[in-house]
Structure formats: structure tokens, C-alpha cells
Amino acid sequence: MIRILSGAGRYADPWHPFLVTTAGIASVAAELDLDHEAADVTPDTLGDLDGVDVLVVNVGGGGPDPDLSPDRAWSEAFATAEAWLRMGGAMLATHQATNGFPDWPGYRSLLGGEWVPGTSNHPAISDAVFTARPGAEADPLLAGLPGAPQAPRVEAWDERYSHLVMSPEAQVLLEHELDGQAQPVVWRSGADGVRILVDALGHGPESYESPSRRQLLANELLELSAPVN
């Protein structure tokens, strides 16, 4: 079962319509006939993962000045979720989840890349094109996209996250170019012993109206839902 966690409370922010984008993710899971549920992120929905196979994290970091005072329930949920990941659970982190859970020790290293306030940014939202990292064109995660397998791409009205801080272990699959520099937006985490994909697309509902963006998300959900040999 796929559980889609939507930003709420201390992990919402003023810039992202989490309920709407969570509904967009759920609509792709429904088209694939994958068992799924959507829920606000709480200590229970993050920390009780019995019966969950894939966790989709569609949350934020709490806004420009988050009040994230220590909280035992959240700390226990973080520890449980991390243990679940290391025991074979799978996770997809979307868009602002790259800046999510700033009080979860180890979360950013699990992702293999992150939004760092003051360093990361993005141009104004626009019609955007995201292309395969050279060498990744034939990766199964990009199958079925326009131009595949020679030059797969995603086209969507979306934000182009830039200057994310990346781990050298991350396996970058999709990127865009800004000022002559490649900017990663989709990658496999590369962290030891976990199955985590990060997809920095998905700012608003328009992203989930794009057929190529929906194909990418379908590929991600199917990869993470597949049994591990």
C-alpha cells in the first residue's frame, strides 16, 4: 500500500498547496490501480507504517521561520520511519520535501540531496523542460517519456529547483540547465541500504496536468512498489 503524506501543521508552508498536489499524486496512483491512501502528516501517519510499502512525502519545512521546538512524538516518528526505511521500506520525496523535516536528524542524508535556504532557489515558475542527465537516457525511470529512449524529457508548468546541495552518491536522472549549469531535479538517493527516489517537480496542480510529468510519477511509483528480488 502507498501512503501519501500531505504537508500540514508544522510541516506546511505558505507557498505550496499540499492538499491539491497530494490529490495529483493520488490520481496517478489511482490510474495505475495501486492501493493507496492520502493523509495529513502527523506523528501517527509517519510513525505507524504497518502495512505500508511505499511512503510518498509531500511536505514542507514549516515556512520561513518555523517553530519546530523539540517534540517527543515527532522524534519517535522520525526514528520509526527511518528504521522502516532501513528494513526495506521505500520512499518518494516530492518537490518541497527536499526542504522537509528540518528537525529529523539524518533525513537530508537519506535523500541524497536537499534544498538549503539561502543557497537553493528557482527562477519564476514557467513552462519548463527537464531532460535526462547524459548517460541516464535509457534508465527505466524515464521510459515512456517524450523522446525516450534517446532523449527523454518532461515538459510541465513548474518550478525549476536550482542549486540544490547534492551528495556525490546520488544517481541523477533528470535535470534542467540554468546559466550554463546542469541542475538535478530527479535522482535515486544513493544512500546505503535504502530505496528512496527524489522528484523535485510538483509545485502546483498544473504540474499534475502534464502527461509527461504524470508518466514520470507513474514510473516512480511502479519502481518503488515493485517487489525487491
CB 20 within 8 A of CB 38: no
Largest CA distance in the chain: 50
Q: What is the pLDDT at residue 228?
A: 83
> Tell me, what's the pLDDT at 85?
97
Q: Enumerate residues 6+ apart whose C-beta is below 8 A from 181.
A: none
- Half-sphere exposure of residue 171, counting CA atoms within 13 Å on the CB side? 13
User: CA 198 to CA 194: how far, in whole Å?
Assistant: 12
CB 62 within 8 A of CB 13: yes
Using CA atoms, how far apart are residues 39 and 130, in angstroms rounded to an integer?
A: 29
Nearest CA to 130 out of 114, 148, 113, 118 is that of 148
Q: Please state whether beta strands 171-178 and 165-166 pair in parallel, antiparallel, or not at all (unpaired).
A: unpaired
Residue with cell 496542480: 205
Tens digit of each residue's pLDDT, the chain (229 residues): 999 999 999 999 999 999 999 999 999 999 999 999 999 999 999 999 999 999 999 999 987 777 788 899 999 999 999 999 999 999 999 999 999 999 999 999 999 999 999 999 999 999 999 999 999 999 999 999 999 999 999 999 999 999 999 999 999 999 999 999 999 999 999 999 899 999 999 999 999 999 999 999 999 999 999 988 7
Q: What is the pLDDT of residue 65?
A: 77
